[in-house]
Chain A
Amino acid sequence: MASFTKSLFLFLFIQFCFSILPSSFAQSPTPGSSDGYTIYGRVKIPSFGTKEFSLPAKVSNVKVILNGGQRVSFLRPDGYFSFHNVPAGTHLIEVVAKGYFFSPVRVDVSARNPGKIQAALTENRRGLSEFVLEPLKEEQYYEIREPFSIMSIVKSPMGLMMGFMLIVVFLMPKLMENMDPEEMKRAQEEMRNQGVPSLASLLPGAARSN
């Protein structure tokens, strides 16, 4: 019996492939079969390709996975996929496509009401009226390197240190110049008495010249 229904599905699938169905959400009306329904669906990847790092979506690289690896299906060039002989129950379908984030889909295959499949995205609990799976978002695997700018160097700790040193070296003497010369002399004398070395005496050559 199983093989018979399977063959029917094959037949149906081929028919399905060659006829234009208005809805991609189809279900085999197998009369009297207790095990095995067919889940049809479609994966739609918008081919923006305008963003810098997005790779062209290759249909052959997309996998559709049933129940965490129980079965794997691939897409036809037009994005359709199908799983045959799926028993009634609640199943999980995941779409794997590099560069896109898909929500897993909860699929209820009804046993009481053959021909009825309900699907809902598990991430946001949104029900699907048509079994068309679209990515929730694009994935950027790389961080974008910040462009080189003078400001980033200046703002870096080393830049700040250099800036401070420049201020000390070039602005401080200017400040000193504005001071009263006599007061300055006194301060310098005081400094000498205390033995605080000046910048010049710090350098070996200067020390010798003193």
Chain B
Amino acid sequence: MVGQKNLKADKDDLILVFGKGCLHAISGIDGEVLWRKDFASESIEVSHIIQSPEVIYVAGFVGSSKFYVYEVNAKSGELLKNNHVALPFATSGESLSVSGDKFVVLDDVRSKIVTIDINNGNINYNQKQVSDLIKDSSGQAVILPSKLPGLFALKINSQVLLIKVTNEGELVALDQIDNTAAFSNALSISEDQHVFAFVQYEDNKIQLSVKDVNDWNGALLKENLVIDHQRGNIEKIFINNYVRTDRSHGFRALMVMEDHSLLLVQQGEIVWSREDGLASVVDVTTSELPVEKEGVSVAKVEQNLFEWLKGHVLKLKGTLMIASAEEKIAIQKLRLRSSEKSKMTRDHNGFRKLLIVLTRAGKVFALHTGDGRIVWSTTLHALRKSEDCEHPVGLNIYQWQVPHHHALDENPSLLVIGRCGPSVTAPTVISFLDAYTGKELNSLSLAHTVARVIPLPYTDSTEQRLHLIIDVNKHAYLYPRTPEAIEILKREFSNIYWYSVETDNGVIRGHALKSNCIHEIVDEYCFVFRDLWSIVFPSESEKIIATVTRKSNEVVHTQAKVMTDHDVMYKYISKNILFVANAAPKASGEIGTATPEEATLVIYIIDTVTGRILHRMTHHGCQGPVHAVFSENWVVYHYFNLRAHRHEMSVIEVYDQSRADNKDIWKFVLGKHNLTSPISSYYRPEISAKSQSYFFTHSVKAIEVTSTAKGITSKQLLIGTIGDQVLALDKRFLDPRRTLNPSQAEKEEGIIPLTDSLPIISQSYITHSLKVEGLRGIVTVPAKLESTSLVFAYGVDLFFTQIAPSRTYDSLTEDFSYALLLLTIVALVAALFVTYVLSERKDLEEKWR
């Protein structure tokens, strides 16, 4: 909708609203729609609405060269007149309104400026060559969208030309500004004074100037300020004014930076800044903190001697209660900084970590899990706008090198993968970062594209992880590009498998490496691959809507599961397992678009090495969106049941039947069991799957499962609900062995009686009364302490907590009373001495007897 408001509070205060090809006139007094006029049939791209008390002009282009103006009666909405002019050339870009009834637009080759004047419904146009206004007009000209009365700004290369449009429609070049970054809109500070601001780059500084639109020579404000390079270019600027004590006008400017941060500048200083880039997190990984040793800290937290002394003087003041309010705040800060939680070193329990987030602006932040502060932030050079790479997007962030052997003197590093532009055929950029300092170690612009990145389970001697980047032309590229990496890959050549999902065609393919690429230039890091298998889903009845696989770094503690009757079931645990959800094409849209009769949801569990379908299941009358999580041998998914009109969650557990007959003790004695036989992905075991479904009240935005260091602790599902909260639900509620009346033995084992819906216990919201606005994803990371899992939820807000799905069985709870323990010990020691003295005395008495 284009809103157009009459600012000059007229007697009837008409508000014009244009949307979806229809102009509405709304009374400003009572909000009543007075009239409406439909322009949808005219195929006009309405760009301007000019309001006057009697008539309203609606102007816009039809196609790219016909300019139409409609005259509408302001009182009744009646069409009075329409007029049009056909330009002898096509136009490009948006037209800009310069003053009331004048517009400027560029022609399609961007060499001419066209001024269109609609005087009382008559259209006149003038054209002028850009080269008449500026000597060097070799670059592409662009009209900047800043709204300045009587002026417009034309950008050519890095220069900006300010051009005045006279009443006669003549164009006069006013000024030429070099190295301009951004222009603001005009701000009216008094009846006839309009000002605007612009910023220029000057060596390391930037200059902010505020000028009067009519008085070109003098500047109202000229300020120099230094802005951190990491923030990148200035994208936008907005100004507002205040009246100083001497009644002159002062200005403050709000700047939007390339990394999506906001700065408020006043009197040549940055008053405040906000990292709003954190609202658009793209990918998350974690990094361990440095091992504690003398002189190691990530950012220099402390301290020279003076700082140290100052801190102690402050603390002393605090204890003597003579600290002022400001000093108290400083003490608080010091305490927080030196507190256990926010230390910059690795802790024994592994609670302290760095969360490394990649934002959409291409900036990488390291957040401390203790207090959420930004430890470092870097705008990646590779993901900055440049001539080769106009619209870079960050895609993924991976751990590149995690030193264990040299943890003391080597820093871990990260790999960031990005792409120049939104399409998959855009070239790839990769960048390597130091995880402790945020320094960009290296960045490469690659010739190939990126369709998928596969971190391989192998590392080289420097503990760099091997990664395969698959491009759209069916080539796989190995990183790091070292001979050693090639050696490792050659050794594991036949053990590398992956799959690809073609959602549009409904095909899933399995792949393996074949040989080196055949190019004119020999590249031994480039490989071609072959298709091993493919599964083609019938396109008339099924459409892929979701695929989920297991996390590659998940740890499983035990393969066996003991049943109530002392029977053993063997979990089917394979890393190469894929969950696929297909919906009927008619019901692949949103809820409310399909009837239960035409909706089906088909679930597959597929082995990605052999392409074998391990399990298939159909839910009739159900549809997506499907959210799923795969862990160990089970998958939990959330979908919508149209018949009951409720959301449902289902669980499928997969068991290996071929190991089930190992229960016979004689087989063990005689050595006829197959427990020692190697497990191979080529092997086709007998599978049995158990499944159960339950109702779930809420819509879901994301599902994750807790992960712990050894995988012993029972699991909890973390469900990001539509209300932007994160609910922790015990996996025990999603157990196919639940029955209506569990036996005593089953109850003792912890099997919950079957209910038709999953309980939502409000205390188990791990976000408590907080909300993670715009929740998009949940990430779980194991702590070193087995009972604890770290949870990071991101959206517009960021949320971090640590949870213990089976309570903290391996450590004392936070509310454990150490005082009581001490008191008991003291009491015991005292009792010991008292009783000792008493018994001594008694002994003596006895001896005297």
A interface, CB within 8 angstroms of B: 2-4, 6-7, 10-11, 14-15, 17-18, 53, 55, 63, 65-70, 86-87, 89-92, 94, 96, 98-99, 101, 103-104, 106, 122-123, 139-143, 145, 153, 158, 162, 165, 169, 198-200, 203, 205-206, 209
Inside 8 A of B723's CB, which chain A residues have their CB?
A: 63, 96, 98
Q: Is the CB of B24 within 8 A of A7?
A: yes
Closest A residue, CB atoms, query B33: A11
* Bound: A114/B831 CA distance, A: 86
One of A3, A89, A206 near B20 (C-beta < 8 A): A3
Closest B residue, CB atoms, query A169: B835
A–B complex contacts, Cβ < 8 Å, 8 sampled? A4-B22, A10-B33, A17-B31, A90-B592, A96-B724, A98-B769, A101-B760, A200-B836
Inside 8 A of A140's CB, which chain B residues have their CB?
A: 762-763
Report if B531 contacts A (CB, 8 A): no
Inside 8 A of A65's CB, which chain B residues have their CB?
A: 699, 722
* Bound: A66/B640 CA distance, A: 14
Given contacts A122-B646, A200-B839, contact A67 B697 (CB under 8 A): no
Q: Is the CB of B763 within 8 A of A143?
A: yes
Closest B residue, CB atoms, query A54: B769
Inside 8 A of B590's CB, which chain A residues have their CB?
A: 67-68, 70
* Bound: A10/B17 CA distance, A: 11
Report if B698 contacts A (CB, 8 A): yes
Inside 8 A of A141's CB, which chain B residues have their CB?
A: 762-763, 765, 768-769
Inside 8 A of A67's CB, which chain B residues have their CB?
A: 590-592
* Bound: A70/B24 CA distance, A: 26
Q: Is the CB of A6 within 8 A of B642?
A: no
Report if B10 contacts A (CB, 8 A): no
Report if B488 contacts A (CB, 8 A): no
Counting from the closest, the 10 A-B pairs by CB-CB distance are: A139-B762, A68-B699, A96-B723, A67-B591, A3-B20, A3-B22, A91-B592, A141-B768, A11-B33, A106-B645
* Bound: A128/B629 CA distance, A: 36
Q: Is the CB of B32 within 8 A of A70?
A: no
Report if B827 contacts A (CB, 8 A): yes
Inside 8 A of A63's CB, which chain B residues have their CB?
A: 723
Closest B residue, CB atoms, query A99: B769
Q: Is the CB of A94 within 8 A of B698?
A: yes
* Bound: A66/B26 CA distance, A: 28
Inside 8 A of B827's CB, which chain A residues have their CB?
A: 162
Cβ of A125 to closest chain B Cβ, rounded Å: 9
Q: Which residues 818-849 of B sit at the A interface, judged by CB distance below 8 A?
A: 820-821, 824, 827-828, 831, 835-836, 839-840, 843
**Chain B 624-648: CB-based contact to A (< 8 A → 1; otherwise 0):** 0100000000000000101011110
**Chain B 748-776: CB-based contact to A (< 8 A → 1; otherwise 0):** 00000000010010110100110100000
Closest A residue, CB atoms, query B26: A14
Q: Is the CB of A91 within 8 A of B591?
A: yes
Cβ of A135 to closest chain B Cβ, rounded Å: 12
Cβ of B45 to closest chain A Cβ, rounded Å: 15
Given contacts A122-B646, A141-B763, contact A70 B771 (CB under 8 A): no
Report if B593 contacts A (CB, 8 A): yes
* Bound: A18/B32 CA distance, A: 9
* Bound: A162/B482 CA distance, A: 67
Report if B155 contacts A (CB, 8 A): no
Given contacts A14-B32, A68-B699, A123-B697, contact A92 B592 (CB under 8 A): yes
Q: Is the CB of A2 within 8 A of B820?
A: no
Cβ of B599 to closest chain A Cβ, rounded Å: 11
Cβ of A49 to closest chain B Cβ, rounded Å: 14
Additional 9 contacts, C-beta under 8 A, given A53-B769, A68-B625: A3-B40, A14-B32, A65-B699, A68-B640, A86-B592, A87-B593, A89-B592, A101-B760, A142-B768
Report if B235 contacts A (CB, 8 A): no
**Chain B 3-45: CB-based contact to A (< 8 A → 1; otherwise 0):** 0000000000000000111101010001111001010100000
Inside 8 A of A162's CB, which chain B residues have their CB?
A: 824, 827-828
* Bound: A158/B836 CA distance, A: 22
Inside 8 A of A101's CB, which chain B residues have their CB?
A: 760, 762
* Bound: A123/B755 CA distance, A: 13
* Bound: A104/B32 CA distance, A: 33
Cβ of A185 to closest chain B Cβ, rounded Å: 9
Chain B interface bracket (under 10, 10 to 19, 20 to 34, 35 or more): 35 or more
Q: Is the CB of B769 within 8 A of A87?
A: no
* Bound: A67/B820 CA distance, A: 54
Inside 8 A of A70's CB, which chain B residues have their CB?
A: 590-592
Inside 8 A of B843's CB, which chain A residues have their CB?
A: 200, 206
Closest A residue, CB atoms, query B844: A209
Inside 8 A of A18's CB, which chain B residues have their CB?
A: 30-32
Inside 8 A of A169's CB, which chain B residues have their CB?
A: 831, 835
Q: Which residues 593-623 of B sit at the A interface, judged by CB distance below 8 A?
A: 593, 595
Q: Is the CB of A14 within 8 A of B699?
A: no
Closest A residue, CB atoms, query B849: A181
Task: Give the most central of B595, B698, B724: most A CB within 10 Å.
Answer: B698
Task: Give the most central of A86, A90, A99: most B CB within 10 Å.
Answer: A90
One of A3, A89, A198 near B38 (C-beta < 8 A): A3
* Bound: A199/B722 CA distance, A: 67
Closest B residue, CB atoms, query A108: B645
* Bound: A11/B31 CA distance, A: 9
Cβ of B69 to closest chain A Cβ, rounded Å: 21
Given contacts A14-B32, A65-B699, contact A89 B824 (CB under 8 A): no
Inside 8 A of A53's CB, which chain B residues have their CB?
A: 769
Q: Is the CB of A94 within 8 A of B699?
A: yes
* Bound: A122/B640 CA distance, A: 12
* Bound: A7/B768 CA distance, A: 42
Q: Is the CB of A98 within 8 A of B824?
A: no
* Bound: A2/B701 CA distance, A: 31
* Bound: A24/B769 CA distance, A: 30
Cβ of B810 to closest chain A Cβ, rounded Å: 18
One of A90, A94, A158 near B722 (C-beta < 8 A): A94
Q: Is the CB of A199 within 8 A of B839?
A: yes
Inside 8 A of A103's CB, which chain B residues have their CB?
A: 697
Inside 8 A of A106's CB, which chain B residues have their CB?
A: 645
One of A2, A7, A90, A165 near B642 (C-beta < 8 A): A90
Inside 8 A of B595's CB, which chain A residues have their CB?
A: 89-90
Q: Is the CB of A68 within 8 A of B763?
A: no
* Bound: A123/B335 CA distance, A: 49
Closest A residue, CB atoms, query B31: A14
Given contacts A68-B722, A104-B646, contact A199 B24 (CB under 8 A): no
Q: Is the CB of A90 within 8 A of B20?
A: no
Cβ of B648 to closest chain A Cβ, rounded Å: 11
Q: Is the CB of B722 within 8 A of A7?
A: no
Closest A residue, CB atoms, query B30: A18
Task: Give the most central of B592, B722, B724: most A CB within 10 Å.
Answer: B592
**Chain B 786-822: CB-based contact to A (< 8 A → 1; otherwise 0):** 0000000000000000000000000000010000110
* Bound: A31/B649 CA distance, A: 41
Given contacts A10-B24, A89-B593, contact A104 B698 (CB under 8 A): yes
* Bound: A145/B814 CA distance, A: 13
One of A7, A87, A94, A96 near B33 (C-beta < 8 A): A7
Inside 8 A of A99's CB, which chain B residues have their CB?
A: 769
Inside 8 A of B22's CB, which chain A residues have their CB?
A: 3-4, 6-7
* Bound: A70/B722 CA distance, A: 11
Q: Which residues 701-729 of B sit at the A interface, judged by CB distance below 8 A?
A: 701, 722-724
* Bound: A188/B66 CA distance, A: 121
Closest B residue, CB atoms, query A71: B590
* Bound: A68/B768 CA distance, A: 22
Q: Is the CB of B591 within 8 A of A14?
A: no
Q: Is the CB of A92 within 8 A of B824?
A: no
One of B38, B757, B820, B840 near A4 (C-beta < 8 A): B38
One of A11, A92, A158, A203 near B591 (C-beta < 8 A): A92
Q: Is the CB of B591 within 8 A of A7?
A: no
Closest B residue, CB atoms, query A162: B824
* Bound: A3/B843 CA distance, A: 105
Cβ of B551 to closest chain A Cβ, rounded Å: 26
* Bound: A2/B22 CA distance, A: 10
